[in-house]
Amino acid sequence: DGGITQSPKYLFRKEGQNVTLSCEQNLNHDAMYWYRQDPGQGLRLIYYSQIVNDFQKGDIAEGYSVSREKKESFPLTVTSAQKNPTAFYLCASGDRRYNSPLHFGNGTRLTVT
Amino acid sequence: GESVGLHLPTLSVQEGDNSIINCAYSNSASDYFIWYKQESGKGPQFIIDIRSNMDKRQGQRVTVLLNKTVKHLSLQIAATQPGDSAVYFCAENTGDSWGKLQFGAGTQVVVTP
């Protein structure tokens, strides 16, 4: 069935290492988003892409990078420059043509020690 | 910057009663509002949305009310059930780019038997 798949669900890394989070969607949505969620807080936008080969910074892009080579995929790299990388990362997609609400994946919980 | 906020961080409600979750927003340019439900360890799940040209919208057991005069949004859940226990977020699209949502901090709803 259609949806957004984020993998892995849990990820552990040592400080100083880059790590890439996967996000795949089969909803045929043009737009994809990455949000970060910290305990007891709302979601904050990291990066978004409204079309293949194009993406823009969100509110907290520092220390992160993305690519959008395929419509279905929007991987997020958490670099060693990100000061507080431990968080719950959520990927979303949406169809701008119909102004539909964003659909979210079930997230990746990243722990950096 | 302007952001979405919530009045109550935790709401306890008895099973069968109605729940009301409130949300204040400050960006008068926002044209689209969404309520999401998030269960522990999962991504946000769409509940209901409303556009700025409406003041009320009903779904199955849920109603969203929008008061643009005082910049207030509420979610009403009728006959609250144990499965409604979750964190509820309101989000607004500020209009500068479709899909860029600003989220409130969330309200934890606890349904007691």
**Closest to A46 measured CA to CA, from A29, A34, A54:** A34
pLDDT of A1: 53
pLDDT of A2: 64
Span B10-41, pLDDT tens digits? 999 999 999 999 999 878 889 899 999 999 99
- pLDDT mean over B82-94: 94
Q: d(Cα B61, Cα A66) in Å, to the nearest integer?
A: 39
Asked if A45's CB is within 8 angstroms of B46's CB, the reply is no
* Chain A residues interacting with chain B (CB cutoff of 8 angstroms): 4, 6, 31, 33, 35, 40-45, 48, 50, 56, 58, 90, 92, 94, 96, 99, 101-107, 109
**Closest to B88 measured CA to CA, from B39, B26, B16, B52:** B39
Pick out chain A residues at pLDDT < 50: none
pLDDT of B7: 44
Asked if B104's CB is within 8 angstroms of A107's CB, the reply is no
Contact list, A96 vs chain B (CB under 8 Å): 98-99
Confidence label for B2 from pLDDT (cuts 50, 70 and 90): very low
Q: d(Cα B35, Cα B46) in Å, to the nearest integer?
A: 6
Q: d(Cα A15, Cα B47) in Å, to the nearest integer?
A: 38
Q: d(Cα B106, Cα B104) in Å, to the nearest integer?
A: 6
